[in-house]
Structure 1
Amino acid sequence: MGRDLHTAALTASLSLLAGLFGYVARQQSDTEADVLSRMDRERSQRIRAETERRAKIAEAERDVRLATLAERNRIARDLHDTIGHVLSSALLQTTALLAEQDENSRTGAIRDIQATLNLGMDRARQSVHGLYEESLSFEYELKEVMDRFTFCTVSSQVDFRQEPPHDYRQTMLKAVREALANVVRHSNATAVQIMAVEHPGFYQLRVKDNGTRILTEAEEASRSGVHLGLGTMSERAGRHNGTLRIERKGGFGIILTLPKRTDDKQSEKGDT
């Protein structure tokens, strides 16, 4: 009888252990399945993200190619319109010169050809100069200014939806140069921050240093170099109906604000 009980208990224990092992095995199997499923999802997400990234890169490269071709066509048209008419006129004048018998008339015709070619050369120079100016972005020119500044560290942030007009860019760049020159001459700053931001109705430039040696308005007025520099910046801003504001808290800074012109706003609407 005792032996039967012992056997039954042993059998029950073995059954219980078998059940436990089965449960653990099922749990382990379920866990492995969950891990594999999660790994599959993560792999799919990575593949999808990489595909989207490559698609965006391809789209950006295509946009660059199209923009480059459009710019080449524009340059070709500009050069054709600028030089083609002048050369055609010079050829006609040369043909007429060959048929001219009178020496005085020949001299006058040669002078006309010379004037026509000089006009064409001037127009070609203007076109190339204009194309060069348009090809340089504000951010590129700002970097050149910053690279030449070695007095202290300087950082920048440029956020333009579209490039400002050339005269606006030059006004802002001149303000940056003057502000950095003032840092060298009058500040004990160790860092300068430049921010150029486009707003819906205006462009704004801010140049701020962290110096503690800040001139008061009276001190600025007594130092002709500072007063003249700030006055020049203010005068340039006024030419565009803009303003120049001075900051003296937490360092010295300037804020140059240039309102958008009507044609700039219309161009922005056309891009949306």
Structure 2
Amino acid sequence: MRDKQDYEIYAATLKERNRIAREIHDNVGHLLSRAILITGAMKMTNQISSLRETFDSLDSSLGEAMDSIRKSVHDLHDDAVDLKKSLEELITDFTFCPVDFSYHMAKTLPREVKYNVIAIVKEALNNVIKHSNATLVRLTVSEFETLYQVIIEDNGKTPSPDIPTNPLNSNTQGIGLINMTERVKKLKGNITFYRQNAFKIYIKIPKH
């Protein structure tokens, strides 16, 4: 019961952050854009040389304010991404076979970890559809003291005599697996692909 209440509070907080980000973008951002346009027009029509430096300074300050607003909106939106909910939505859309989903992560995670894990899981599920006859996928996302761990495995039988088992090497990876590898490398993590009676992706991402 307590965990459910905590999650509801967390979800409400994320929703409010998204609302604030939209308000800043739609209202404050619009006003700043208008002020920048007006300042630009005044600079073009100004004939008084003594005011040129003032207009340049005003234009620069408004530009910095706009950049700051954009960064704040971007950060608010990124922080509002709920990894668990995003993965659950991917699983709901995945109708190829059932997914056994296990999630053990903190509520606050680095945005880079969230976005890349979402992209990797999406790629992995697409690969199941394209290359497997699986009847079950297991997705486990866990957090430990020094690292994050993602395990994606299916029970599909996909015999390929030209592909070795345990682990697959870089010469036998398709585009999807290469994309996953690049994403994990950006996070300074490790990813291993195994094929032995099924297919398994094992990912470790260090905490920084």
Alignment of 1:142 onto 2:87: yes
Q: TM-score, normalised by structure 2?
A: 0.69
State the Cα deviation string for residues 184-216 of structure 1 (Å, max 9, x = none).
111111221211011122110011112112445
The Cα of 1:119 is off from its aligned counterpart by 2.0
Alignment of 1:229 onto 2:193: no
1:165-244 equivalences under 5 Å are: 165-215=110-160, 218=163, 227-244=174-191
Q: Matched residues in 1 for 2:159 and 2:76: separation?
A: 42
The Cα of 1:256 is off from its aligned counterpart by 0.9
Alignment counterpart, residue 117 of structure 1, candidates 62, 86, 90: 62
Structure-2 change in CA distance of 1:119 and 1:245 (3 Å): same
Structure-2 change in CA distance of 1:252 and 1:135 (3 Å): same
Which residue does 1:43 correspond to in 2? none
Structure-2 change in CA distance of 1:211 and 1:148 (3 Å): same
Residue 242 of structure 1 aligns to which amino acid in structure 2? G
Q: TM-score, normalised by structure 1?
A: 0.54
The Cα of 1:236 is off from its aligned counterpart by 2.2
Structure-2 change in CA distance of 1:216 and 1:161 (3 Å): farther
Of stretches 132-141 and 244-253 in structure 1, the one that deviates more from structure 2 is 244-253
Q: Matched residues in 1 for 2:160 and 2:76: separation?
A: 42
Which residue does 1:248 correspond to in 2? 195
**Contact 1:214/1:252 (8 A) holds in 2:** no
State the Cα deviation string for residues 8-50 of structure 1 (Å, max 9, x = none).
xxxxxxxxxxxxxxxxxxxxxxxxxxxxxxxxxxxxxxxxxxx
State the Cα deviation string for residues 79-129 of structure 1 (Å, max 9, x = none).
9xxx9xxx9xx9xxx9xx9xxx97123344334323322221221121011
Q: Matched residues in 2 for 1:142 and 1:234: separation?
A: 19
SS at structure 1 position matched to 2:163: helix
The structure where helix makes up a greater share of residues is 1
- List alignment gaps of at least 5 residues for structure 2: none
Residue 156 of structure 2 aligns to which amino acid in structure 1? G
> Which structure has the greater CA radius of gyration?
1
Q: Matched residues in 2 for 1:108 and 1:102: separation?
A: 12
Structure-2 change in CA distance of 1:217 and 1:139 (3 Å): farther
SS at structure 2 position matched to 1:207: strand
**Contact 1:187/1:214 (8 A) holds in 2:** no
Identify the structure with bigger relative contact order (alpha carbons < 8 Å, sequence gap 6+): 2
Residue 191 of structure 2 aligns to which amino acid in structure 1? L
SS at structure 2 position matched to 1:246: strand
**Contact 1:191/1:209 (8 A) holds in 2:** yes
Structure-2 change in CA distance of 1:215 and 1:205 (3 Å): farther
Q: Matched residues in 2 for 1:197 and 1:236: separation?
A: 18
**Contact 1:156/1:194 (8 A) holds in 2:** yes
SS at structure 1 position matched to 2:198: coil
Structure-2 change in CA distance of 1:140 and 1:202 (3 Å): same
